[in-house]
C-alpha cells in the first residue's frame, strides 16, 4: 500500500514537473506584457493550445510508463526479494532468491544468496560440531555403562531421595535372585531407573551411612565411604559399600539457587517424617564446598560366604580353645609326675591313665576337626558360570602336558554353560585319565561334550579294555592324586559339590567305553544373553542409567501430582491379552505386559511380561488373535499372584494403555477379590490421539503408529503392544504440548472431552 501511494505521489510530481514550467512561463510573460501584446499573445496561443496540451499529455504518459517500469523493477522487485529472504531466514533454509530484474537487483540477489550460502555452511558446521560432541559424550556414557554392566560386582547409583539412577546387570541379577515372589517379575521389577532403593534396602541403614559419610567429608577424610551389612526382606545378607557422588565444580553456580529453594518434605509421602527431615538437613549442613548429590552402592551377596566363614571360625575355635583344657590336663599331669619322683604307685598309675586318656581324646578331637575342616574346604569352592567347552579344552591341555596322553575331541557342543569350580573339575578329569592310563594302558582318550535337557555330559571315551563298574566306585573314593600332585578331595567330593553324577558305560556297537560326568547346565548365562539382545534392541543404548535423575527432586516418590508436567512423570505402559471382550461375563486376562517410561525414555528392559493361567478354556477365535494356546498358559501362575506383582511393578507411576478403558475394566473387576487397587491416573493413547488428530478417521494403534512414524513389530503380544503404545505415547507428548496440553491434569481433561470418551466399551 505504501509503495502504491508513493507511486501515485511520484506520478503527480512528474505531471507537475512536465506542465508546471510552461504554465509558469506563460503566466509570467502574461503578467509582464502590455495590454495589446497580451491580446495578441492570447490570440496567437489559444488556437495552438490543444496541440501543446496533446504533446504534453503524450510526454506525461511516456514519463509515467517509464516511471512505472522503474518502479516495478526496483521497488516491487526488491520487496519480493525481501520476502524470499525472510523465507530463507525462517521456514525454509534451503530456499534461494532467483536473480531477476535489472542487473543491480540481480547483483543484490546474488550477494544475498552468497550470504545465505555462507550462513548455511556455518550452521552446518556448528551442527556437525554439536553432533560430534554429543556423540563423544554419548559414547563415553555408553562405555561407562558397558563397563559397569560387565563388573562382577553389583553397582547401583542413587540420588539423595534413594531413586536409582544407574544399575548394572549384576545388580539386577542379584536382586532378581533375591526375589521370592511367585513370578519372576515380582522381585526383579523392584530394581529400575527412578525406583526407590528402599524397596530393597533398609531406609534407616542408608540414611545412617549417608550421615557417616557426610561427617567424614566434613572432617576432610580421604576415604569418605561407608560399609554396612544388611539383610533383605528374604533374609539374604548383603555387603554394601557406599561412596558419595559429589557435586562437580561446574555445577556449583547452580548450587546457590537450588539451596535457596526450600527443599521441603515431598508431599504424598506421609508417615515418613525421618527421611523428609533428613534431606534438608543434609543440604544445609554440607555447605558450599562439598555437596553430596547422591551415592554409589556396590553390593555383594555374602549370605553364602557368611555361612562358610562361620563354619571355618568354628573349626578354628575347636582347634584352639577346644584343646586348651585337654592340654592343661596333660601338662599338669606330666609336670607333676616329673616333679614328684617319690609318688606312690597307685597315684602314678592314675596320672598315667590321665595322660593316656587325654592324649587319645585329643587325637580323636583332631580327627573330627580335620574331617570337618575338609567339609569347610569344600564349601569354600566358588562355583562360577563358564562355557563347558573352555573346561574341556583346559582339561585336554592338562592331560597332554602331565600325562603325555593324546587327546581327541569328539562332538563338542560349543554353546553349553555349566556352573562349576573349574579347577576341581579339570583335576577330576585329569585324575580319571591318569587312572585309565596307569591301570588300563590306554593309548588315546577322546573327550565329548553334549547336553540333554538341563544336563551337560562330559564323556571320557576310550577303545578297548573294558573297566568294571566296581573299579570306578573305588576310584571315586580315592583322593585325586595325579603324580606328585595331591588333592584332599575325592572324585565323589567333586561330583557331589557340583550336584552332578558320574558313571561308567559301554558302547558295544562303537567298541568303546566311557565315563560320563553329568553336570547341571547353568541357568544364568541365558539371562545374560537376553540382556545382550536387549542392548541391541534399544538402539544400542543401554538403559541402565539416567543421570538426569540426579537433578530430579524426588521425581516420582511424591505421589502423582496432576499439576506435574507430562515430561516429568514416570509411566507404566501396559497391555493385556484376554480370553474375550466381556470381563463381566467371565472373560479373563491371559497375558500382562508392561514397560516403564522414566524421564522420557522407554526402558526396554524394565518390563513386566507374564502369561496367566485363566482357569477357563481359551476360545478358538481368541487364539487366532493373540496366538496364546492352552499349552502356553498351563502351569503359569494365576491372576491372584500375577496381579499383586503387577501392582507392585506399577507403583507410583501413571498407567498408560491403548483403549485403556478396556484393560482397566479387566483389572478393576478383580480389585475386590484380590485386594489390590489401581488408584493411579490412567492415560489412554486412543483418546489422546483423538485430541491431537480430531479429523482422522482411525485411532487404532497401528494407524496411530503409522501416522507418527513408528515401526510396529511383535504386535499382539501384551508386551509387544505395550512397547508400541509406549513409543506412541512418547511421540504424543510434544504434540500435546504444541496444543498447550502440558500437565497431567490438562491431558486427562482433554482426553475426557473427546468424543471417544463418551463411548462405553
Nearer to other proteins, 35 or 321 (CB): 321
Catalytic residue among 439, 498, 699, 716: 716
| Residue 270 per-residue DSSP state | T
Shortest distance, position 597 Cβ to other proteins, whole Å? 57
Asked if 678 contacts 594 with a C-beta cutoff of 8 angstroms, the reply is no
Residue 696 CA neighbour count, 13 Å, CB half: 17
- Picking from 410, 746, 731, 471, the residue whose alpha carbon sits closest to that of residue 600 is 731
Q: Phi first, then psi: what are they for 183, rounded to 5°?
A: -110, 160
Nearer to other proteins, 354 or 632 (CB): 354
Shortest distance, position 335 Cβ to other proteins, whole Å? 4
- Picking from 464, 428, 427, the residue whose alpha carbon sits closest to that of residue 445 is 464
> What is the distance between the alpha carbons of residues 324 and 681, in angstroms, rounded to a whole number?
70
Shortest distance, position 356 Cβ to other proteins, whole Å? 11
Nearer to other proteins, 74 or 351 (CB): 351
Asked if 504 contacts 436 with a C-beta cutoff of 8 angstroms, the reply is no
Residue with cell 560326568: 517
Residue with cell 556449583: 252
Shortest distance, position 317 Cβ to other proteins, whole Å? 9
Shortest distance, position 569 Cβ to other proteins, whole Å? 56
For the record, the C-alpha cell of 288 comes out as 558450599
For the record, the C-alpha cell of 99 comes out as 536473480
- Cα angle: 74, vertex 78, 79; to 5 degrees: 120
Nearer to other proteins, 61 or 328 (CB): 328
Shortest distance, position 372 Cβ to other proteins, whole Å? 19
Residue with cell 477357563: 616
Nearer to other proteins, 345 or 509 (CB): 345
| Residue 381 per-residue DSSP state | P
Nearer to other proteins, 339 or 470 (CB): 339
Q: Phi first, then psi: what are they for 693, rounded to 5°?
A: -120, 75
Nearer to other proteins, 34 or 324 (CB): 324
Q: Phi first, then psi: what are they for 91, rounded to 5°?
A: -60, -50
> What is the distance between the alpha carbons of residues 448 and 412, in angstroms, rounded to a whole number?
5
Asked if 679 contacts 691 with a C-beta cutoff of 8 angstroms, the reply is no
| Residue 119 per-residue DSSP state | H
Footprint on this chain of other proteins (rule: CB under 8 A)? 320-321, 324-325, 327-333, 335-336, 339-340, 343, 347, 350-351, 354, 357-358
Shortest distance, position 330 Cβ to other proteins, whole Å? 7
Chain centroid to Cα 706, Å, comes to 26
Shortest distance, position 354 Cβ to other proteins, whole Å? 5
Shortest distance, position 306 Cβ to other proteins, whole Å? 22
Name the H helices within 33-102.
35-45, 49-70, 77-89
Nearer to other proteins, 269 or 357 (CB): 357
> What is the distance between the alpha carbons of residues 69 and 11, in angstroms, rounded to a whole number?
12
Shortest distance, position 368 Cβ to other proteins, whole Å? 17
Nearer to other proteins, 22 or 347 (CB): 347
Nearer to other proteins, 330 or 442 (CB): 330
716 noted as active-site residue: yes
Question: What is the spatial order of strands in the sheet that 601-611 belongs to?
Answer: 601-611, 589-598, 571-578, 654-657, 682-684
Burial (CB < 10 A; 0-12, 13-18, 19+), residue 656, is: buried
Long-range contacts of 454-457 (CB under 8 A, 24+ apart): 454/520, 454/521, 455/518, 455/519, 455/520, 455/521, 456/388, 456/416, 456/418, 456/518, 456/519, 456/520, 456/521, 457/516, 457/517, 457/518
For the record, the C-alpha cell of 728 comes out as 506412541
- Picking from 742, 568, 549, 740, the residue whose alpha carbon sits closest to that of residue 653 is 568
Nearer to other proteins, 353 or 397 (CB): 353
- Picking from 505, 510, 499, 496, the residue whose alpha carbon sits closest to that of residue 459 is 505
Residue with cell 525472510: 86
Sign for the pseudo-dihedral over CA of 488, 490, 494, 496: negative
Shortest distance, position 529 Cβ to other proteins, whole Å? 51
Q: Looking at the annotation, which residues are catalytic?
A: 716
Amino acid at each position: 500500500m505504501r509503495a502504491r501511494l508513493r507511486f501515485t505521489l511520484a506520478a503527480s510530481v512528474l505531471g507537475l514537473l512536465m506542465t508546471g514550467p510552461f504554465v509558469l512561463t506563460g503566466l509570467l510573460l502574461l503578467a509582464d506584457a502590455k495590454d495589446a501584446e497580451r491580446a495578441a499573445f492570447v490570440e496567437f496561443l489559444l488556437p495552438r493550445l490543444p496541440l501543446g496540451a496533446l504533446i504534453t499529455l503524450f510526454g506525461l504518459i511516456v514519463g509515467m510508463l517509464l516511471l512505472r517500469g522503474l518502479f516495478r523493477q526496483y521497488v516491487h522487485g526488491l520487496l519480493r526479494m525481501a520476502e524470499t529472504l525472510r523465507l530463507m531466514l525462517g521456514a525454509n533454509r534451503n530456499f534461494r532468491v532467483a536473480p531477476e530484474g535489472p542487473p543491480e537487483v540481480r547483483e543484490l540477489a546474488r550477494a544475498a544468496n552468497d550470504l545465505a550460502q555462507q550462513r548455511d555452511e556455518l550452521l552446518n558446521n556448528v551442527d556437525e560440531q554439536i553432533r560430534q560432541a554429543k556423540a563423544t559424550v554419548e559414547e563415553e556414557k555408553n562405555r561407562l555403562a558397558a563397563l559397569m554392566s560387565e563388573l562382577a560386582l553389583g553397582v547401583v547409583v542413587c540420588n539423595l531421595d534413594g531413586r536409582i539412577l544407574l544399575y548394572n546387570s549384576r545388580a539386577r541379577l542379584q536382586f532378581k535372585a533375591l526375589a521370592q515372589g511367585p513370578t519372576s517379575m515380582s522381585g526383579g521389577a523392584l530394581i529400575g531407573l527412578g525406583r526407590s532403593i528402599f524397596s530393597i534396602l533398609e531406609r534407616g541403614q542408608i540414611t545412617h551411612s549417608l550421615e557417616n559419610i557426610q561427617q567424614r567429608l566434613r572432617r576432610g577424610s580421604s576415604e569418605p565411604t561407608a560399609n554396612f551389612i544388611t539383610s533383605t526382606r528374604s533374609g539374604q545378607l548383603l555387603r554394601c559399600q557406599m561412596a558419595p557422588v559429589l557435586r562437580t565444580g561446574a555445577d556449583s553456580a547452580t548450587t546457590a539457587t537450588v539451596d535457596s529453594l526450600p527443599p521441603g518434605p515431598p508431599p504424598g509421602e506421609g508417615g515418613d517424617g525421618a527421611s523428609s527431615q533428613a534431606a534438608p538437613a543434609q543440604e544445609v549442613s554440607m555447605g558450599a564446598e562439598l555437596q553430596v548429590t547422591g551415592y554409589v552402592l556396590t553390593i555383594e551377596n555374602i549370605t553364602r560366604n557368611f555361612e562358610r566363614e562361620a563354619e571355618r571360625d568354628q573349626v578354628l575355635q575347636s582347634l584352639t580353645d577346644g584343646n586348651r583344657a585337654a592340654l592343661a590336663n596333660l601338662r599338669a599331669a606330666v609336670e607333676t609326675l616329673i616333679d614328684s619322683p617319690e609318688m606312690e604307685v597307685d597315684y602314678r598309675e592314675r596320672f598315667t591313665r590321665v595322660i593316656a586318656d587325654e592324649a587319645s581324646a585329643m587325637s580323636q578331637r583332631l580327627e573330627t576337626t580335620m574331617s570337618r575342616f575338609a567339609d569347610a574346604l569344600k564349601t569354600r569352592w566358588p562355583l562360577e558360570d563358564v562355557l563347558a567347552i573352555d573346561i574341556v579344552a583346559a582339561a585336554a591341555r592338562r592331560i597332554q602336558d602331565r600325562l603325555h596322553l593324546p587327546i581327541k575331541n569328539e562332538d563338542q557342543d560349543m554353546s553349553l554353560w555349566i556352573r562349576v569350580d573349574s579347577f576341581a573339575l579339570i583335576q577330576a578329569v585329569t585324575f580319571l585319565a591318569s587312572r585309565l592310563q596307569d591301570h588300563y594302558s590306554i593309548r588315546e582318550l577322546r573327550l565329548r561334550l553334549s547336553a540333554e535337557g538341563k544336563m551337560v555330559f562330559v564323556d571320557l571315551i576310550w577303545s578297548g579294555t573294558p573297566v568294571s563298574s566296581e573299579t570306578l566306585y573305588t576310584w571315586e573314593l580315592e583322593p585325586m592324586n595325579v603324580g606328585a600332585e595331591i588333592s584332599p578331595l575325592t572324585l565323589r567330593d567333586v561330583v557331589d559339590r557340583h550336584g552332578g553324577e558320574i558313571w561308567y558305560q559301554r558302547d558295544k556297537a562303537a567298541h568303546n567305553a566311557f565315563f560320563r560326568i553329568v553336570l547341571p547346565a547353568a541357568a544364568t548365562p541365558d539371562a545374560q544373553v537376553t540382556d545382550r539382545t536387549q542392548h541391541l534392541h534399544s538402539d544400542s543404548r543401554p538403559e541402565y542409567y539416567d543421570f538426569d535423575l540426579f537433578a530430579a527432586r524426588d521425581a516420582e516418590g511424591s505421589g502423582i501430582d496432576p499439576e506435574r508436567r507430562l515430561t516429568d512423570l514416570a509411566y507404566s505402559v501396559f497391555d493385556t491379552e484376554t480370553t474375550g471382550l466381556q470381563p463381566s461375563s467371565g472373560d479373563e486376562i491371559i497375558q500382562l505386559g508392561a514397560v516403564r517410561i522414566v524421564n522420557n525414555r522407554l526402558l526396554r528392559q524394565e518390563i513386566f511380561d507374564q502369561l496367566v493361567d485363566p482357569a477357563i478354556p481359551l476360545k478358538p477365535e481368541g487364539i487366532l488373535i493373540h496366538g496364546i494356546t492352552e499349552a502356553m498358559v498351563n502351569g503359569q501362575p494365576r491372576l491372584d499372584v500375577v496381579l499383586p506383582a503387577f501392582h507392585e511393578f506399577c507403583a507410583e507411576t501413571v498407567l498408560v494403555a491403548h483403549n485403556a478403558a478396556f484393560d482397566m475394566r479387566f483389572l478393576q473387576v478383580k480389585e475386590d477379590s484380590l485386594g489390590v487397587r489401581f488408584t493411579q491416573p490412567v492415560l489412554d493413547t486412543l483418546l489422546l490421539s483423538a485430541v491431537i488428530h480430531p479429523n482422522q478417521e482411525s485411532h487404532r494403534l497401528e494407524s496411530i503408529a503409522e501416522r507418527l512414524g513408528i515401526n510396529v513389530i511383535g504386535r499382539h503380544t501384551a508386551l509387544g503392544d505395550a512397547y508400541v503404545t509406549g513409543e506412541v505415547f512418547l511421540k504424543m507428548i510434544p504434540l500435546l504440548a504444541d496444543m498447550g496440553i502440558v500437565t497431567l491434569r490438562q491431558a486427562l481433561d482433554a482426553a475426557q472431552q473427546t468424543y471417544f470418551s463418551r463411548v462405553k466399551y
